[in-house]
């Protein structure tokens, strides 16, 4: 490896100078009108095709603005600003752009050109900054810094300055924009990159992501919300997926290397679960440990964020286990998911046997006290049986999907954790 | 790395935040103690100290005016052995926004926290928490969450942000050692020397009356008259006399409205002292051994509210016979750039000359004549209790003509 090692201080986003942003806007704005006219003149077939496709999606625009918007779509595609940009995505995005700038009800043609100029510049800018930030994330991970610190580093030194820069692209056109819209565009580019690494099936449009952001985050303005909003809209939903994408990138290269070696070496036993599943599992165990000790030592209650963390981690592990075994998500044979879930469950019981107490029969209690590990090993079947029926009850019509199982697991674990019997016993420490 | 870890374990960083709970018209306080593994090894002690700290009303510790307290560094002086070098330093940083007040106190064996950098980081931390506060406030109003969830969320984010802050100090080191990179070189606008008396061996009642007893008046036994327990409190300084040093044309340079009267200049010094209420919960951390140490400011930063200009105070001290200590200080200010003022770049040189030449109070004027401030005016010593009597620096010179009279 002849990789250049960067200092941590370099792993931040340095925003463009405001003077450059102003000239970029002026430049785009002054050219856009003639570019649009030229496009209308030279590409009538393309425009007609797209107009047919998006007939209803951009029905809210006046005929004049429709032509302008469609030409902009053409320009984005032909000038390679975005390589693959679905027309429907574009329609969503333009509609959200008008909402986010409060221009849906009234917008002069001049303003519309200005908005489109800002929009094109923003796409370019956020695409670039997301690439830089993802690279910074990769490099930060290599430094072995604690996850919490990486998250904050990403927010404070990367996404926040990039978001300020993005906002400037609108400010120089004298538009006030909903910060959640800009953040949603970041989310879109993150999703694109996750789509490329096959972590998610397909990215959603920035417009759709904006709608999601609005439902998640209630405030739209002010620099003071940057940290909290980025955390809510970008870090919490995507960081573990990005981690996963990067881990699988590392793994692919390891697999290739292994294949090379395998040609000369006899086949080994099938490897145990990949590192990222293991890592996830460790996280789940850590959450249990934290909550157990917190409840024991300080009597703290478990809150909603605990549930969310457990749920999302379990769902992810179930998905990965499926990918690991069958090479795909969304298995038709759902009983595999249940099998995976029990793998997880017994890992938890192995670590914290007291959590199985409410499930076993009271007569067996002393046996359990003598040697919980052996006891669990012996009564695995009975525990599985009992848990299966509880899980079935909880999932009901949903069947065994990673989601439904994760929810069931969390709710059962919550009941186990809050059970006084569990709390009355501590092993070892 | 091992050194860094040791430093981290021996450094205590405490965050205190206070924000209004509008419906109840009270303030909610959140405490976060991080690091200092070697200093607090026991969780129950930690919880107890947290409770002590929770009683502090941090909003009243530093009064807000047009000049805001931002950050300070303090050194410790052992009252029984003034020459002894005390490793620990104490840093106090403060920021407040409309809704939030945040105080960060760091006690640790290092001298190189970059105050400017740390101020910036504390500001960004406060801003981030304000965002969380604003969002949760909105959710509270829409009845999506309850008060307690708001507190939990703010606390959780404070934990995360303070971890990042600590990481910048100990692991990354970005908040240490760098030279203070102000864009404007501040100018020295005045200097002063204070004669102070050390008061030690005092006991404080931890019960209802909170009375402080001097050595001779301590009641028999370990109980106060009100029944409260008595504890030894850190020694203190009694500031007695002060002399100012200033350029003759000060009025012309800073303009009529900005001229500082003796009492206003003295206020800077007062505001630079570490608030006693703040120090007292820390002296309960017995490992810090604060009970025989005086806390002397070495650097204090204020910000002019309207213009964000920075006013710095830089201090040095010299011990005297018996329980007396001389504290000298310089005020630098980024608001003025007049050539009749002296640039703060000369500060080190001037400080060194004072350390070398100042023997006692009477040598003060003579010592100033040996520095870059040689042409500046030196006022006679004014008794601090009468300082209000002198409307301007010029008025203090009348003392000389009237003899030693301060009355």
pLDDT digits 0-9 by tens, B120-144: 999 999 999 999 999 999 999 988 8
Residue A227 lies in a domain: yes
Domain assignment present for residue A251? The answer is no
CB contact under 8 A, A224 and B171: no
Min CA distance, A382 vs chain B (Å)? 39
Give me the interface pTM, i.e. the ipTM.
0.88
Choose from B32, B114, B123, B135 for mutation: most chain A CBs within 10 A: B135
B307 shares its domain with B353: yes
Does A259 map to a domain? no
With CA atoms as reference, the chain A residue closest to B167 would be A149
Over pLDDT 90: what percentage of chain A?
39
Task: Provide, as residue numbers in chain B, all residues whose Cβ is less than 8 Å from the Cβ of A9.
Answer: 172, 174
User: How far is the C-alpha of A123 from the C-alpha of A117, rounded, in Å?
Assistant: 10
Establish if A80 touches chain B: CB-CB under 8 angstroms.
no
> A106-120, A146-160, A378-392: which has the minimum mean pLDDT?
A378-392
The radius of gyration computed from the CA coordinates of chain B, to the nearest angstrom, equals: 23
Chain B contacts of A8, Cβ < 8 Å? 172
Do B157 and A9 count as a contact with CB atoms less than 8 A apart? Answer: no
Q: What is the widest separation between alpha-carbon atoms in chain A?
A: 87
First-residue to last-residue Cα distance in chain A: 43
Q: Which residues of A touch B178 (CB under 8 A)?
A: none
How much is the average pLDDT of B176-195? 82
Residue of chain B whose Cα is closest to the Cα of A217: B135
Write out residues 22-51 of B within 8 Å (CB-CB) of A. 43
DSSP 8-state secondary structure symbol assigned to residue B94: E
- Count of CB atoms within 10 A of residue A176's CB? 12
- State the smallest CA–CA distance between residue B240 and chain A in angstroms: 45
- The Cα–Cα gap between A219 and A225 comes to 8
Helix, strand, or coil here: A182?
A: helix
With CB atoms and an 8 Å threshold, state whether A9 touches B172. Answer: yes
| pLDDT over 90 at A63, yes or no | no
Question: B26 pairs with which residues across the strands?
Answer: B21
How far off is chain A from B40, nearest CA to CA, in Å? 17
Residues of A in contact with B128 (CB under 8 A): 156, 224, 226-228
Q: What is the domain count for chain B?
A: 2
| Whether residue B86 has pLDDT greater than 90 | no
Structure token digits, residue B234 = 């850190």
Q: Which residue has the tokens 């003071």?
A: A224
Q: Do B156 and A305 touch (CB under 8 A)?
A: yes
Asked, for residue B287, whether it belongs to a domain, the answer is: yes
Do residue A288 and residue A193 come from a single domain?
A: no
Q: Is B385 on the interface with A (CB under 8 A)?
A: no
If you write DSSP's letter for every residue of B384-404 in order, what string do you get?
GGGGGG-SSHHHHTHHHHTTT
CA–CA distance, B156 with B150 (Å, rounded to integer): 10
> Does pLDDT of B218 surpass 80?
no
**Chains A & B: contacts with CB separation below 8 Å:** 65
Domain co-membership, A347 together with A414: yes
Residues A380 and A241 in one domain: no
Option in A145, A149, A228 nearest B132 (CB): A228
- B135 and chain A in contact, CB less than 8 A: yes
Whether residues B40 and B144 share a domain: the answer is yes
Q: Is A327 exposed, middle or buried (0-12, 13-18, 19+ CB in 10 A)?
A: exposed
Say if residue B49 is in the same domain as residue B160. Answer: yes
Exposure of A354 in the CB half-sphere (CA atoms within 13 A): 18
Residues B125 and B247 in one domain: no
pLDDT for the residue B131: 95
- B404 confidence band (pLDDT: 50, 70, 90): very low
φ, ψ at B293 (rounded to 5°): -115, 140
Q: Are B328 and B359 in contact (CB under 8 A)?
A: no
Query: CB of B128 within 8 Å of any CB in chain A?
Result: yes
Residue B309 lies in a domain: yes
Domain co-membership, A231 together with A279 = no
Q: Which of A145, A242, A151, A147 is nearest to A193 (CA)?
A: A242
Instruction: Based on the fold, state whether residues B193 and B91 are members of the same structural domain.
Output: no
Judged by CB atoms closer than 8 Å, whether chains meet at B131 and A228 is answered as yes
* A303/B152 Cβ within 8 A: yes
| Residue B156 contacts A where some CB pair is shorter than 8 Å | yes
Terminal Cα-to-Cα distance of chain B (whole angstroms): 60
Q: How far apart are CA B40 and CA B28, in angstroms?
A: 25
Do B140 and B257 fall within a single domain? no
Shared-domain flag, residues A400 and A281:
yes
Task: Indicate the DSSP class of residue B239.
Answer: E
Question: What is the reported pLDDT for A300?
Answer: 60
For residues B293 and B352, membership in a common domain is answered with: yes
Question: Backbone dihedral region of A361: left (phi > 0), alpha (psi from -120 to 50 degrees) or beta?
Answer: beta
d(CA A342, CA A345): 5
Any domain includes A253? no
User: Using an 8 Å Cβ cutoff, are B38 and B288 in contact?
Assistant: no
Burial of A151 (0-12, 13-18, 19+ CB in 10 A): buried
Average the pLDDT over each of A22-36, B143-157, B194-208 and give the range with the smallest value: B194-208
Instruction: Give CA–CA dist B241/B135, Å, rounded.
Output: 51
My answer on whether B276 and B132 are in the same domain is: no
Residue of B11, B368, B333, B1 whose CA lies nearest to B193:
B368
B82 — pLDDT class (breaks 50, 70, 90): confident
Q: Are residues B140 and B196 in the same domain?
A: no
Contacts of A256 (CB under 8 A, 6+ apart): none
Which position has the token pair 């510049």? A121
Distance from CA of A219 to the nearest CA of B (A): 6
Same domain? For A401 and A294 the reply is yes
- C-alpha to C-alpha distance for A277 and A316, rounded to whole angstroms: 9
As a whole number of angstroms, the distance between CA A264 and CA A256 comes to 14
Considering the domain architecture, whether residues A25 and A168 belong to the same structural domain is answered as yes
Write the DSSP string, B19-32: EEEGGGTEEEEEEE
Distance (Å, whole) CA A123 – CA A84: 13
Contact by Cβ (8 Å): B15, B162:
yes
Measured between alpha carbons, how far is residue A412 from residues A163, A296, A327 in Å? Answer: 40, 19, 29
Both tokens of A19, joined, read 């003077």
Give A43 to chain B, closest Cα distance, Å: 47
* Residues on chain B touching A145 (C-beta within 8 angstroms): 167, 171
User: Quick check: B5 contacting A, CB < 8 Å?
Assistant: no
> A233 and A289 share a domain?
no
| DSSP per-residue codes, A13-55 | --PPPHHHHHHHHHHHHHHHHHHHHHHHHH-HHHHHHHHHHTT
Q: What is the pLDDT of residues A138-168, one digit of tens each?
A: 999 888 899 999 999 999 999 999 999 999 9
Look up the domain containing B300 and give its range: 187-200+235-401
Note whether residue B219 is domain-resident.
no
Is B121 part of a structural domain of the chain? yes
B281 and B155 within one domain: no
| Contact between residue B242 and residue B193 where contact means Cβ atoms under 8 Å apart | yes
Q: How far apart are CA A192 and CA A190, in angstroms?
A: 5
Task: Average the pLDDT over B183-196 and give the result.
Answer: 90
Indicate whether A77 belongs to any domain.
Answer: yes
- What is the dihedral sign for C-alpha B279, B280, B285, B288? positive
A43 lies in a domain? yes
Supply the Cα-derived Rg of chain A in whole angstroms.
26
Q: What is the pLDDT of residues A398-420, one digit of tens each?
A: 788 888 898 888 888 888 877 77
Same domain, A400 and A305: yes
Which residue in B284, B261, B285, B266 sits closest to B394, CA to CA? B261
Contact between A149 and B167 using a beta-carbon 8 Å cutoff: yes
Alpha-carbon gap, residue A256 to A274, rounded angstroms = 15
Q: Are residues B251 and B288 in the same domain?
A: yes
Written as six digits, the tokens of A304 are 């909603």
Residue B213 in contact with partner chain A when CB distance is under 8 A? no
Residue B29 lies in a domain: yes
The tally of domains found in chain A comes to: 2
Same-domain pairing of A129 and A198: yes
Instruction: Of B39, B82, B118, give the one whose Cα is nearest residue B296.
Output: B82
Q: What sign for the dihedral angle of Cα A399, A404, A410, A415? A: negative
Cβ atoms within 10 Å of B133's Cβ, excluding its own: 24
Residues A104 and A240 occupy one common structural domain:
yes
Q: Is residue B177 part of a domain?
A: no
The verdict on A215 touching B (C-beta cutoff 8 Å) is no
- What mean pLDDT comes out for the span B80-91? 84
Distance, in Å, from the CA atom of A243 to the CA atom of A138, rounded to the nearest integer, reads 9
Mutate to test the interface with A, among B164, B174, B177 (most CBs of A within 10 A): B164
- The reply to whether A297 touches chain B by the CB within 8 Å rule is yes
Nearest to B158 by CA among B9, B30, B18: B30
Residue A295 confidence class, pLDDT cut points 50, 70, 90: low
Shared-domain flag, residues B159 and B297:
no
Pair (A365, A279) in one structural domain: yes
Verify whether the Cβ–Cβ distance B172 to A228 is below 8 Å: no
Residue numbers of the domain that contains A154: 8-245
pLDDT at B375 over 50: yes
- B176 CA to centre of own chain: 19
Beta strands in A140-231 (DSSP E): none
Q: Judge whether B213 lies within some domain.
A: no
In chain B, whose CA is at the least distance from the CA of A300?
A: B152
A264 pLDDT band, cuts 50/70/90, is very low
CB contact under 8 A, B131 and A226: yes
Nearest one of B124, B151, B114, B128 to B18, comparing CA atoms: B151
Q: pLDDT class for A222, splitting at 50, 70, 90?
A: very high
């Amino acid at each position: 490896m002849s990789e250049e090692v960067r200092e941590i201080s370099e792993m931040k986003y340095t925003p463009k100078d405001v003077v450059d942003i102003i000239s970029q806007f002026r430049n785009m704005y002054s050219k856009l009108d003639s570019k649009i006219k030229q496009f209308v003149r030279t590409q009538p077939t393309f425009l007609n095709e797209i107009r047919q496709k998006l007939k209803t999606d951009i029905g809210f625009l006046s005929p004049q603005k429709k032509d302008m918007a469609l030409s902009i779509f053409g320009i984005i595609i032909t000038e390679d600003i975005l390589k693959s940009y679905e027309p429907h995505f574009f329609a969503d995005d333009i509609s959200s752009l008008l909402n986010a700038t409060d221009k849906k009800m009234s917008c002069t043609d001049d303003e519309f050109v200005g908005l489109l100029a800002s929009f094109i510049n923003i796409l370019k800018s956020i695409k670039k900054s997301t690439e830089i930030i993802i690279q910074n994330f990769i490099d930060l991970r290599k430094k072995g810094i604690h996850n919490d610190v990486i998250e904050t580093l990403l927010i404070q030194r990367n996404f926040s300055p990039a978001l300020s820069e993005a906002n400037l692209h609108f400010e120089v056109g004298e538009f006030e924009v909903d910060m959640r819209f800009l953040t949603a565009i970041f989310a879109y580019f993150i999703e694109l990159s996750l789509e490329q690494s096959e972590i998610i099936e397909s990215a959603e449009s920035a417009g759709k992501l904006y709608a999601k952001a609005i439902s998640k985050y209630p405030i739209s303005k002010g620099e003071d919300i940057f940290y909290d909003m980025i955390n809510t809209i970008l870090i919490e939903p995507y960081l573990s997926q990005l981690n996963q994408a990067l881990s699988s990138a590392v793994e692919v290269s390891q697999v290739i290397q292994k294949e090379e070696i395998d040609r000369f070496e006899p086949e080994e036993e099938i490897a145990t679960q990949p590192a990222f599943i293991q890592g996830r599992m460790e996280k789940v165990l850590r959450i249990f440990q934290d909550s157990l000790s917190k409840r024991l030592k300080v009597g703290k209650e478990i809150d909603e964020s605990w549930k969310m963390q457990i749920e999302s981690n379990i769902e992810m592990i179930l998905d990965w286990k499926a990918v690991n075994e069958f090479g795909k998500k969304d298995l038709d044979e759902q009983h595999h998911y249940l099998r995976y879930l029990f793998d997880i469950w017994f890992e938890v019981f192995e670590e914290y046997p007291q959590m199985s107490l409410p499930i076993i029969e009271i007569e067996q209690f002393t046996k359990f006290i003598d040697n919980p590990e052996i006891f669990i090993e012996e009564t695995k079947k009975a525990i599985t049986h009992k848990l299966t029926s509880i899980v079935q009850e909880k999932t009901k019509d949903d069947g065994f999907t990673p989601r439904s199982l994760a929810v069931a697991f969390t709710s059962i674990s919550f009941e186990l954790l809050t059970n006084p019997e569990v709390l009355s016993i501590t092993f070892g420490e | 790395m091992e050194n860094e870890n040791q430093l981290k374990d021996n450094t205590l960083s405490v965050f205190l935040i206070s924000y209004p709970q509008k419906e109840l018209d009270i303030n909610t306080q959140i405490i976060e103690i991080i690091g200092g593994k070697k200093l607090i090894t026991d969780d129950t002690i930690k919880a107890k100290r947290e409770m002590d700290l929770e009683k502090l009303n941090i909003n009243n510790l530093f009064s807000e005016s047009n000049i805001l307290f931002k950050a300070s560094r303090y050194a410790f002086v052992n009252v029984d052995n003034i020459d002894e070098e005390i490793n620990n330093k104490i840093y106090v940083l403060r920021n407040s926004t409309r809704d939030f007040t945040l105080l960060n106190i760091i006690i640790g064996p290092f001298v190189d926290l970059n105050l400017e950098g740390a101020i910036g980081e504390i500001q960004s931390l406060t801003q981030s928490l304000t965002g969380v506060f604003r969002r949760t406030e909105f959710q509270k109003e829409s009845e999506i969450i309850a008060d307690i969830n708001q507190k939990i969320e703010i606390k959780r984010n404070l934990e995360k942000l303070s971890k990042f802050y600590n990481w910048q100090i100990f692991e990354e080191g970005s908040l240490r050692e760098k030279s203070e990179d102000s864009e404007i070189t501040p100018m020295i606008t005045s200097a002063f020397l204070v004669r102070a008396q050390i008061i030690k061996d005092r006991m404080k009642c931890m019960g209802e009356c909170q009375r402080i007893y001097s050595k001779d008046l301590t009641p028999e036994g370990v109980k106060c008259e009100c029944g409260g327990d008595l504890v030894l409190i850190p020694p203190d300084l009694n500031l007695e006399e002060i002399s100012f040093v200033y350029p003759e044309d000060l009025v012309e340079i800073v303009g009529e409205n900005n001229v500082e009267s003796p009492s206003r200049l003295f206020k800077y010094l007062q505001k630079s002292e570490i608030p006693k209420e703040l120090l007292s919960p820390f002296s309960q951390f017995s490992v810090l051994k604060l009970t025989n140490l005086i806390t002397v400011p070495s650097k204090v930063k204020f910000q002019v509210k309207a213009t964000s200009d920075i006013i710095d105070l830089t201090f040095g001290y010299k011990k005297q016979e018996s329980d007396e200590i001389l504290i000298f200080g310089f005020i630098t200010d980024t608001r003025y750039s007049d050539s009749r003022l002296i640039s703060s770049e000369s500060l080190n040189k001037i400080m060194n000359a004072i350390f070398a030449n100042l023997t006692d109070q009477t040598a003060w004027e003579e010592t100033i004549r040996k520095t870059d401030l040689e042409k500046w005016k030196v006022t006679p010593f004014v008794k601090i209790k009468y300082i209000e009597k002198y409307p301007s620096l010029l008025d203090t010179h009348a003392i000389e003509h009237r003899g030693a009279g301060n009355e």
